[in-house]
Amino acid sequence: MRNIDHFIDGRRVAGTSGRHGDVFDPNSGQVQAHVALANTAELDRAVQSAVLAQRGWAKVNPQRRARVMFEFKRLLEVHMDELAALLSSEHGKVHGDSRGDIQRGLEVIEFACGIPHLLKGEYTQGAGPGIDVYSMRQPLGVVAGITPFNFPAMIPMWMFGPAIAAGNAFILKPSERDPSVPLRLAELMIEAGLPEGVLNVVHGDKDVVEAILKHPQIRAVSFVGSSDIAQSVYALGAQHGKRVQCMGGAKNHGIVLPDADLDQAVADILGAAYGSAGERCMALPVVVPVGEATAQALREKLVARIPDLRVGVSSDPQAQFGPVVTAAHRARIEQYIQMGVDEGAELVVDGRGFRLPGHGDGFFLGPSLFDRVTDKMTTYREEIFGPVLQIVRADSFEQALALPSQHQYGNGVTIFTRNGDAAREFAEQVEVGMVGINVPIPVPVAYHSFGGWKRSGFGDLNQYGQDGVRFFTRTKTVTQRWPRGGAVADQSFVIPTMR
């Protein structure tokens, strides 16, 4: 049985806690590896390594830090298929989707290559008599990231890319469900020229998460996961004096106006709802057609297309999506499907009971489709995180606008329309953090920032982009005067002004 170790001080380190977790192959349902689960002593070992390494790394000029990022980017491109295959083997997403996972993380690394420009402060000459004022952005020190199973490459790079480029050292606690890719990324960072100890990977469960949040030498924590946990992580981290950003759950809506290109909308909705088996926080699990005619036409087109979706093993190049991550998660999704039936929604397509020939023990689910879902149903209010699409019918534009605006989550939303005025009004009025206009998964590009509203995001700053740099740095402002020789000014006991 393969053992997955920690990565501390530039090398793989076997766990000493005596505890481990099982890592499954979702395609076969079999345990393929054991991952070490750290104790507080192992975490502290990683933190002390990071503390020592960060002192020297922060003194490396930004241009040289950027060169490490450039080389890491090159290595990612060289090892893309290797990383994608490894990712698929533990997560279950198809190979092309795994490549996309890595590519979106790589784009944040490309953004971090511009760190010399991103760290530039502001300067004012002559702010007062002989006085100049300037600001600088400085690293926080040792920072940490806690990442989920659904994007084991992208989200770690969202975090450690800007943080390390800015001069911090980083402790990564990835999901124990698919830990191998984060470990491999750390090895490639060392190969790219990163000093040992600047990036450490510590595997673990809630005990390690709590230890990270309480550790006095970790200055900031970035987290992505479910909303309940995000809220508790935010509170505990803030209680211990840390800067914290936490991205939570989602229930993204796709609004379909009567003038939409329905064929294009259906193609987009199918990919956004069922891609990656629905296991992504920017999936599109709710579609809101406006008007009965739109709803009926949309339903008919979805029902006609869903049987053609190909569910397969991760290595199947023809498969649109693969298995979900664990048997427990599959059971949870099936419970939500039954709950929807019990609540009175119409189950139009039932994905339960799907078995892939030759892979009967794999964690597979077929696509499911509900109609006549209402905003009072638990299955609408909560995140299912699986290949389940719900149709919630709206009578008017105003009702469709209210649904995502009033939902507890506010991660992403999309509107399908040919009407520019309606799209502009929707984008301005909707109470959601990321908006797509005829774009089904509106994840911002790397030089903008990712973040939801309401229970989808806790904290003032978003992931990556300029907000990522701001989160992992702090501003120092210097007011300077170089007096010339001559008479000494009188003492003043009032607050200084620039008059």
DSSP E strand boundaries for 307-405: 346-349, 368-371, 388-391
Task: Give the whole-angstrom CA distance, residue 383 versus residue 348.
Answer: 20
246 is catalytic: no
* Chain-centre distance for alpha carbon 122: 31
Concatenating the DSSP letter of every residue in 43-109 gives: HHHHHHHHHHHHHHHHHS-HHHHHHHHHHHHHHHHHTHHHHHHHHHHHH---HHHHHHHHHHHHHHH
Task: Give the whole-angstrom CA distance, residue 94 versus residue 129.
Answer: 65
Enumerate the H helices of 407-499 as residue ranges.
Answer: 420-429, 465-471
Task: Give the whole-angstrom CA distance, residue 423 versus residue 420.
Answer: 5
Task: Give the whole-angstrom CA distance, residue 234 versus residue 244.
Answer: 6
Structure tokens at 96: 């092309």
- Angle, alpha carbons 200-250-339 (nearest 5°): 120
Residue 49 carries which side chain, given as an amino acid letter?
Answer: S
Task: Give the whole-angstrom CA distance, residue 435 versus residue 314.
Answer: 30
Q: What is the edge-to-edge ordering of all strands in the sheet holding 388-391?
A: 346-349, 368-371, 388-391, 286-289, 253-256, 412-416, 434-437
- What's the first-to-final CA gap in the chain, in angstroms? 74
- Those residues whose C-beta lies under 8 Å from the C-beta of residue 372, and which sit 6 or more positions away, are 344, 345, 346, 391, 393
One of 281, 313, 423, 430 is an active-site residue; which one?
281
DSSP E strand boundaries for 140-175: 142-146, 169-173
Structure tokens at 240: 């211990």
Indicate which residues carry an active-site annotation. 281
